[in-house]
C-alpha cells in the first residue's frame, strides 16, 4: 500500500504541474519587473528575520 500511495502522490504532483504551467508562463511574460530599489527593500526584512532567529538560538543556549 505504501508504494501505491507514493505513485499516486507523484501522479498528482505531475498533474498539478501541468495544470499550473500556463499560469507560470503568463506571470513570467506579464509579471512585474524588478526595479532599482526592490532588492534593498527586501533585504531589510530578511536581515531582521535572520537576526531574530540568531537571537532566539542564542537565548535558548
Q: Write the pLDDT tens digit of every residue in 1-59.
A: 799 999 999 999 999 999 999 999 999 999 888 888 888 889 999 999 999 999 999 99
Cα 2 to Cα 8, 13, 14, 26: the distances in Å are 10, 17, 19, 37
Instruction: Supply 16's cell numbers.
Output: 498539478
**Domain count of the chain?**
1
34: closest CA among 24, 46, 43? Answer: 43
How confident is the model at residue 38, as a pLDDT?
86
**Rounded-to-integer distance, Cα 10 and Cα 35, Å:** 38
Q: Residue 53 has what pLDDT?
A: 98
Query: Which three cell numbers, joined as nine digits, stand for 21?
Result: 504551467
Residue 48 cell numbers, joined: 531582521
Q: What confidence score (pLDDT) does residue 54 get?
A: 98
pLDDT at 47: 96
pLDDT at 34: 82
Give the structural domain span for 56.
Answer: 2-60
Amino acid at each position: 500500500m505504501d508504494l501505491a500511495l507514493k505513485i499516486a502522490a507523484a501522479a498528482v504532483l505531475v498533474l498539478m504541474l501541468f495544470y499550473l504551467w500556463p499560469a507560470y508562463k503568463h506571470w513570467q511574460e506579464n509579471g512585474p519587473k524588478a526595479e532599482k530599489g526592490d532588492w534593498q527593500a527586501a533585504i531589510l526584512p530578511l536581515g531582521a528575520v535572520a537576526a531574530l532567529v540568531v537571537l532566539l538560538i542564542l537565548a535558548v543556549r
